Amino acid sequence: KAGVTQTPRYLIKTRGQQVTLSCSPISGHRSVSWYQQTPGQGLQFLFEYFSETQRNKGNFPGRFSGRQFSNSRSEMNVSTLELGDSALYLCASSHTSGGEETQYFGPGTRLLVL
Amino acid sequence: AQSVSQHNHHVILSEAASLELGCNYSYGGTVNLFWYVQYPGQHLQLLLKYFSGDPLVKGIKGFEAEFIKSKFSFNLRKPSVQWSDTAEYFCAVGIYNQGGKLIFGQGTELSVKP
């Protein structure tokens, strides 16, 4: 099976702009989670979608949002970008949500905000 | 709030040395436990996981981990490291039935000298 794919792989934006990142899960996986990875804060959970519904949310401001489509593909949007949003954004997919589940990660989208 | 603590930020070993990376978590309920590895320039890969049963779990590339419930620990071990094990290692905890959310430790950077 193909792994988790994320597009684009690299992005450069300026403060105040907005950005949309895309994630395609492993075929058959219905849960998609998003994480932010920075040198200072490490890996932090953003949110998780399962069957087009947001099931879980981390402690990020409302500028961070997401959605999931009927084919399980997911997008993450960050509005009004700040310098501190520069990070590697990781997407992970799993077959189920809750119980015993294993998340598989994509390569990430590296976002640089200038 | 749940948290995961990895004791060592950076470990330097010579080839053939034994490895043990510490991981402790704070949560009193049922957890799923994981170790992920991030090789330089690559994405997060699953090393091993524990859901239930035998607390000693074996993963890929000769790694193993032991879950000690009374100590809230899930330490990673390898009897003899290789230069190719140079990477960053992350311990992660999933709260059972809180789908899609992993809480990560800060990571341990392992450098193996040839």
3-class secondary-structure state, position A83:
helix
Q: How far apart are CA A101 and CA B100, in angstroms?
A: 8
Which residues of chain B make contact with A45, given a CB cutoff of 8 A? Answer: 101-103
Find residues 10-29 of chain A whose CB sits inside 8 Å of chain B: none
Would you call A90 and B43 a contact, using CB atoms and an 8 Å cutoff? yes
Smallest Cβ–Cβ distance between B100 and the set A31, A42, A100 belongs to: A31
- The tokens 């330490």 sit on which residue? B75
- A108 backbone dihedrals φ, ψ, rounded to 5°: 95, 160
Q: How far apart are CA B31 and CA A11, in angstroms?
A: 35
User: CA neighbours within 13 Å on the CB side: how many for A39?
Assistant: 1
Smallest Cβ–Cβ distance between B43 and the set A43, A101, A106 belongs to: A106
Q: What do you get for the CA distance between the two ends of chain B, in Å?
A: 41
Would you call A56 and B107 a contact, using CB atoms and an 8 Å cutoff? no
Q: Which residues pair with A92 in a beta bridge?
A: A33, A105
pLDDT value at residue A26: 96
Would you call A48 and B34 a contact, using CB atoms and an 8 Å cutoff? no
Smallest Cβ–Cβ distance between B100 and the set A42, A56, A105 belongs to: A56
pLDDT value at residue A21: 98
Query: Greatest CA separation found in chain B?
Result: 43
Nearest chain B Cα distance for residue A34, angstroms: 9
Q: How far apart are CA B62 and CA B25, in angstroms?
A: 24
Shortest CA distance from B98: residue in chain A? A98
Shortest CA distance from B102: residue in chain A? A45
Number of Cβ atoms within 10 Å of the Cβ of B26: 12
Q: How many separate helices (H) and strands (E) can be counted in chain B?
A: 0, 12
Which residues of chain A make contact with B109, given a CB cutoff of 8 A? Answer: none
Residues in CB range of A40: below 8 A, 6 or more apart: none
Segments in chain A below pLDDT 70: 97-98
pLDDT value at residue B30: 87
pLDDT value at residue B29: 86
Closest by CA to B107, choosing from A35, A69, A52, is A35
pLDDT value at residue B100: 77
Residues in CB range of B92: below 8 A, 6 or more apart: A43, B4, B33, B34, B35, B36, B102, B103, B104, B105
Looking only at the bridges linking them, the beta strands covering A10-13 and A109-113 are parallel
Would you call A104 and B46 a contact, using CB atoms and an 8 Å cutoff? yes
pLDDT value at residue B97: 73
Which residues of chain A make contact with B49, given a CB cutoff of 8 A? Answer: 102
Size of chain A, expressed as the number of residues it contains: 114
Segments in chain B below pLDDT 50: none
Smallest Cβ–Cβ distance between A48 and the set B52, B100, B107 belongs to: B100
Helices (H), chain B: none
